[in-house]
Amino acid sequence: MFTNTTATGRRGLRRLSIGIAFALGLGVLLASCKQEAPSTDGAAPPAATPADPTPATQQAPAEAVSAEVSAMSAEQLREAASKAYQESRLYAPGGDNAMEYYLALRDKQPADAGVSSALVDLLPMTVIATEQSRDRGDFEEARRLLALIEKTDSAYPAVERLKTTIASAETEAERRAEQEQLTAEQEAQRQQELERERQEQQRLAQEQAARDLAAQQQASQEAARQEAARQEAARQEAARQEAARQEAARQQAAATQPAANRPAATASDLRAISTPAPRYPPDALRSGTGGEVQLEFTVAVDGSVSAARVVRATPARTFDREALNAVRRWRFEPVPAPVTTRRTINFSPSD
């Protein structure tokens, strides 16, 4: 694990700069008072030199990626980034977090779209962490995180706002520190508390961010699974329809096959499966009328009856309808080709 070793040095430099600024200001004030005192020879005092408005301290921008991380190979960076991502070290601690590894990897492989996408996903969480560090007075951490954001995307909308608010907050904190004259022991205790608070806050924030990212990935995987299932169902339905179309075409081809190519079939080939008797017309039954009906019909290749018609009926139109209804319900064994035949149905009131 890499750690940021410049924290103590920077805090010491900041306190030293404040002390130097205070001493310089005091010297300017004493010099001004001395110049304003009346001279013994009556000469007018020299004009006072206006104070320099430039701030006494100027913090150098934080380094986004440590030298140790930059020296790693692309394969090492990819493995370290993946591990840090899985362990919720998204942007902290310095020198051992996913953002630094991804930024170094992007420097080595600028065309890697996956790396750019990961950095875009991490930006909003790092902005929140920067604001939290600023608000609790941890300006060194805030500048480190800001450097990560700026290196990821210098045109990111939050960059300039964060720069301004961090500088303003740091100036106000330094002003308060000068007023309160914190002792070294109090400052050390405050830094310890800041460190504990930072670690706990970042741990919780990164764990929540990792859970959110996992939920997004799971939702994407579920959507992909549903889409794959939909496509598979559509494929199976298309295959079923194609098979049905081919079967219909086969049956149509068999039905329209020229007679010369079909196997010969005659009435003697017919084998009845079901020949239900016709219903006896009630009027004929009450009057004791009997008769017969000769019908002609065609047996299809599947054994069903079609094209039934009355050839002869005695007496006429008395038993025709019932005879036709009965024949149309008859079924025969399948035959190699349609067969047209004639059958006579007798109606006798004594049966």
Closest CA to 131 of 143, 142, 120: 142
Residue 60, phi then psi, degrees to nearest 5: -70, 145
The predicted pLDDT at position 10 comes to 34
Token pair for 224: 């992909």
| Domain-located, residue 320 | yes
Can you tell me the mean pLDDT for 140-163? 96
Q: How many CB atoms lie within 10 A of CB 123?
A: 17
The predicted pLDDT at position 249 comes to 78
Residues contacting residue 216 through CB under 8 Å, at least 6 positions apart: none
pTM of the model: 0.43
Give the residue from 164, 199, 223 where a domain finishes: 223
The predicted pLDDT at position 351 comes to 73
Same domain as 121, residue 25: yes
Can you tell me the mean pLDDT for 171-184? 88
Same domain as 292, residue 192: no
State the Cα angle at 54 between 50 and 191, rounded to 5°: 135
State the Cα angle at 160 between 157 and 166, rounded to 5°: 125
Q: Is the pLDDT of residue 197 over 80?
A: yes
The predicted pLDDT at position 256 comes to 60
The predicted pLDDT at position 224 comes to 85
For the chain, give the mean pLDDT.
82
Same domain as 292, residue 166: no
Number of domains composing the chain: 2
Phi-psi region at 271: left, alpha or beta (left = phi > 0; alpha = psi -120 to 50) = beta
| Domain-located, residue 178 | yes
| Domain-located, residue 260 | no
HEC string for 161-197: HHHHHHHHHHHHHHHHHHHHCCCHHHHHHHHHHHHHH
Same domain as 136, residue 15: yes
Same domain as 276, residue 142: no
Q: Which domain holds residue 23?
A: 7-37+50-223
pLDDT band at 42 (very low <50, low <70, confident <90, very high): very low
In the block, which residue shows the tokens 């199976």? Answer: 236
The predicted pLDDT at position 119 comes to 97
| Domain-located, residue 234 | no
HEC string for 118-161: HHHHHHHHHHHHHHHHHHCCCHHHHHHHHHHHHHHCCCCCHHHH
Q: Is 92 helix (H, G, I), strand (E, B) or coil?
A: coil
Q: Is the pLDDT of residue 100 over 60?
A: yes
Q: Is the pLDDT of residue 15 over 50?
A: no
Same domain as 157, residue 78: yes
Token pair for 257: 């096959």
Amino acid identity, residue 11? R
Q: Is 11 helix (H, G, I), strand (E, B) or coil?
A: helix
| Domain-located, residue 92 | yes
Same domain as 215, residue 343: no
The predicted pLDDT at position 27 comes to 38
Closest CA to 293 of 329, 340, 330, 346: 346
Can you tell me the mean pLDDT for 122-138? 97
| Domain-located, residue 252 | no
Token pair for 20: 């130097």
CATH number at residue 326: 3.30.2420.10
| Domain-located, residue 236 | no
Can you tell me the mean pLDDT for 32-42? 39
Q: What is the DSSP string of 248-298?
A: HHHHHHHHTS-GGGSPP--GGG--EEE-PPPPPPHHHHHHT--EEEEEEEE
Token pair for 176: 């308060």
**What whole-number distance in Å separates Cα of residue 8 and Cα of residue 14?**
10
Q: What percent of the chain has pLDDT over 70?
A: 79
Q: What is the pLDDT of residues 199-256, one digit of tens each?
A: 999 999 999 988 998 899 898 899 988 998 999 999 999 988 998 888 777 767 655 6
Please tell me which residue, 186 or 124, carries the higher pLDDT value.
Answer: 124
Give the residue from 191, 223, 255 where a domain finishes: 223
Please tell me which residue, 33 or 347, carries the higher pLDDT value.
Answer: 347
Whether the CB-CB separation of 91 and 128 falls below 8 Å is answered with: no
**What whole-number distance in Å separates Cα of residue 69 and Cα of residue 59?**
23
Same domain as 285, residue 141: no
Same domain as 210, residue 96: yes
Please tell me which residue, 57 or 303, carries the higher pLDDT value.
Answer: 303
Same domain as 127, residue 188: yes
pLDDT band at 265 (very low <50, low <70, confident <90, very high): confident
**What whole-number distance in Å separates Cα of residue 118 and Cα of residue 197?**
27
| Domain-located, residue 166 | yes
Whether the CB-CB separation of 314 and 270 falls below 8 Å is answered with: no
The predicted pLDDT at position 40 comes to 39
The predicted pLDDT at position 258 comes to 53
